């Protein structure tokens, strides 16, 4: 599956949150992300991601292991493979034993909204990364490769309904932005 996703810098977070609250109930969560790479850096250099994420919600905590392949188009959309992890410490140990190294770790404060648009299940996430300035909006839907262009049109239409324009869009990865901030 491909994660058809657009990401934007949000100029008026309160307005966008109010619009999202009108569509669905927001779920506040904190993501603790650890990204892994090979010692030579070839995963990230090749635009690929290997991540262990622990999500702390109001009522539960869960972890997932995610692999994202390189971008398939200019939007930044990537093929994604994800599975739930019952023992994240064991996965961290396995990755280290296999030769992967921790490339970067950081947290994100998120508010997630799930809704349907144009017959597609959408996930909108308002994101704040404590180390970065501003608020971001990620909007995604999972599709097959042949549906990517149409799905991105639907995602763009929803973004537009929130007042997000093409000039607000960004393809910068949080990993790159946090790395640059840390110097």
Structural domain spans, the chain:
2-182
Q: What is the pLDDT of residue 159?
A: 98
d(CA 76, CA 56): 26
Task: Identify whether the C-beta of residue 124 lies closer than 8 Å to the C-beta of residue 141.
Answer: no
Q: What is the pLDDT of residue 151?
A: 97
For residue 131, report the phi and psi dihedrals to the nearest 5 degrees.
-85, -5
Distance of CA 9 to the CA centre of its chain: 14
d(CA 154, CA 47): 25
Q: How many residues does the chain have?
A: 183
Q: Which CATH class is domain 2-182?
A: mainly beta
Mean pLDDT by 10 residues, the chain (183 residues): 96 97 97 98 97 97 98 95 98 98 98 97 98 98 96 97 97 97 95
Residue with token string 């996703």: 5
Report strand pairing: 61-68 vs 78-85. Answer: antiparallel
Task: Identify whether the C-beta of residue 128 lies closer than 8 Å to the C-beta of residue 135.
Answer: yes
- Assigned token pair, 56: 């702390």
Alpha-carbon torsion, ordered 74, 144, 44, 181, to 10 deg: 60
d(CA 118, CA 127): 24
């Amino acid at each position: 599956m491909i994660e058809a996703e657009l990401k934007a810098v949000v100029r008026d977070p309160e307005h966008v949150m109010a619009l999202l609250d009108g569509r669905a109930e927001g779920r506040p969560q904190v993501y603790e992300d650890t990204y892994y790479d090979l010692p030579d850096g070839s995963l990230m250099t090749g635009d690929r991601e290997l991540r262990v994420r622990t999500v702390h919600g109001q009522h539960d905590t869960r972890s997932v292991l995610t692999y994202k392949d390189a971008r398939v188009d200019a939007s930044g959309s990537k093929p994604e493979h994800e599975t739930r992890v019952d023992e994240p410490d064991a996965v961290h140990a396995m990755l280290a034993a296999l030769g992967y190294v921790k490339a970067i770790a950081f947290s994100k404060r998120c508010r997630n909204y799930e809704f349907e648009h144009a017959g597609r299940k959408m996930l909108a996430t308002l994101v704040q990364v404590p180390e970065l300035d501003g608020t971001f909006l990620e909007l995604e839907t999972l599709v097959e490769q042949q549906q990517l262009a149409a799905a991105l049109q639907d995602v763009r239409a929803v973004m537009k309904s929130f007042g997000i324009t093409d000039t607000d869009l960004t393809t910068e990865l949080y990993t790159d932005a946090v790395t640059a901030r840390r110097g």
